[in-house]
Amino acid sequence: MSALILDGKALAQQTEAALLQRVEALKEKSGGKTPILATILVGDDPASATYVKMKGNACRRVGMDSLAVEMPSSTTTDELLAKIDELNSNPDVHGILLQHPVPEQIDERACFDAIALEKDVDGVTCLGFGRMAMGEDAYGCATPQGIMRLLEAYDIAIEGKHAVVVGRSPILGKPMAMMLLQKNATVTICHSRTQDLPALIKQADIIVGAVGKPEFIKAEWIKDGAVVVDAGYHPGGVGDIELGPLAERAAALTPVPGGVGPMTINTLIMQSVESGEKSLA
Ligand SMILES: Nc1nc2c(c(=O)[nH]1)N[C@@H](CN(C=O)c1ccc(C(=O)N[C@@H](CCC(=O)O)C(=O)O)cc1)CN2
């Protein structure tokens, strides 16, 4: 068996073509106005700078504008909260992205939660998470929402399946588990204190690697015919899962690169367009 490749890069490119048309239509309706995503980068982490740049580029590809806010490594929580407040009050800004991680002196949770719900297009607030988990309207957290969109585009069955999520971070593992639960999967969340991880992973019909450690999840722990989703990206182009041997054994898998990563950015942009549509149309 050869695994179906869940091609996030291709899906993101297709979606961008449709988003470009939506932004054009919006401009016509609103007298030339375009959705604007404000991106906030605090500090000088090179990987974060690259991701923020990729997000700005994706905005331009769909005809949107971005407002790049850069703040020094010495920024305090109060300074960042003041900036978020300013962007919340700016009617020209439709979405706010605070790039994670922020420098350690900053209370990241307080800053995420300061983002107005209607501008939380990255889906990082507790309020948005709670609403999503209850099945209410909210923008989904970008990476897990991107994964759900990818699974849906490839008609991957979720209902009744046993999904094992390895990782419980606020912007990946936890919302991923809730989204799968919303689609009626039976969900197991594993983490650093989980006992006998290989045995739990062996039970997975759908396995999501969201642990942040290169190839931490071994191919031999995964059963034949599983759907394998790798949300990791590490230097050398590897993810959280040892994907190589699974190309012949999995039912489907997300490649690294070109799987989950492009869907993260695409989801942020799609939700920014939606937010623009809500306030400009
Ligand atoms: N506020 C947020 N911070 C962070 C998020 C997030 O969703 N919101 N996610 C990650 C990093 N990230 C986006 O910010 C991200 C990581 C990787 C990719 C990606 O497309 N990777 C490519 C390969 C890299 C490349 O081509 O250079 C791939 O997988 O194909 C996109 C977004 C942490 N912070």
Ligand 1 mutation target, pool 233, 240, 253, 268, most atoms within 8 A of CB: 233
Q: What is the pLDDT of residue 105?
A: 98
Q: What is the pLDDT of residue 1?
A: 78
Co-location of 148 and 254 in the same domain: yes
In a domain, 279, yes or no: no
In a domain, 272, yes or no: no
99 is known as an active-site residue: yes
Co-location of 110 and 187 in the same domain: no
From atom 22 of ligand 1, which residue's Cα is the shortest distance away? 261
Report d(CA 152, CA 160) in Å as an integer: 15
119 is known as an active-site residue: no
Co-location of 182 and 108 in the same domain: no
| Alpha-carbon distances, residue 5 vs 11, 12, 65, 101, 139 (angstroms) | 12, 14, 32, 30, 26
Co-location of 155 and 110 in the same domain: no
In a domain, 165, yes or no: yes
Tokens 């990082």 locate to: 124
Tell me the CA–centroid distance for residue 261 and ligand 1, in Å: 5
Query: Is the shortest distance between the CB of 95 and ligand 1 below 6 Å?
Result: no
In a domain, 211, yes or no: yes
Co-location of 99 and 201 in the same domain: no
Active-site entry in 7, 65, 83, 99: 99
Query: Is the shortest distance between the CB of 143 and ligand 1 below 6 Å?
Result: yes
Nearest ligand 1 atom, CA 260: 29
122 is known as an active-site residue: yes
Order of all β-strands in the sheet with 162-166: 4-5, 252-253, 227-230, 206-209, 162-166, 186-190
Co-location of 117 and 37 in the same domain: yes
Query: Is the shortest distance between the CB of 242 and ligand 1 below 6 Å?
Result: no
* Residue 103's CATH number: 3.40.50.10860
In a domain, 266, yes or no: no
Report d(CA 102, CA 177) in Å as an integer: 24
Domain boundaries, position 189 = 142-260
Co-location of 249 and 147 in the same domain: yes
Co-location of 162 and 255 in the same domain: yes
Report d(CA 130, CA 229) in Å as an integer: 24
Q: Which ipTM did the prediction report? A: 0.98
Q: Any idea what DSSP says for residue 220?
A: G
Co-location of 80 and 113 in the same domain: yes
Q: What is the pLDDT of residue 281?
A: 80
pLDDT tens-place values along the chain, 281 residues long: 799 999 999 999 999 999 999 999 999 999 999 999 999 999 999 999 999 999 999 999 999 999 999 999 999 999 999 999 999 999 999 999 999 999 999 999 999 999 999 999 999 999 999 999 999 999 999 999 999 999 999 999 999 999 999 999 999 999 999 999 999 999 999 999 999 999 999 999 999 999 999 999 999 999 999 999 999 999 999 999 999 999 999 999 999 999 999 999 999 999 999 999 999 98
Active-site entry in 113, 122, 205, 240: 122
Query: Is the shortest distance between the CB of 264 and ligand 1 below 6 Å?
Result: yes
How many structural domains is the chain composed of?
A: 2
Report d(CA 269, CA 151) in Å as an integer: 18
Q: What is the pLDDT of residue 56?
A: 98
Co-location of 116 and 153 in the same domain: no
Query: Is the shortest distance between the CB of 239 and ligand 1 below 6 Å?
Result: no
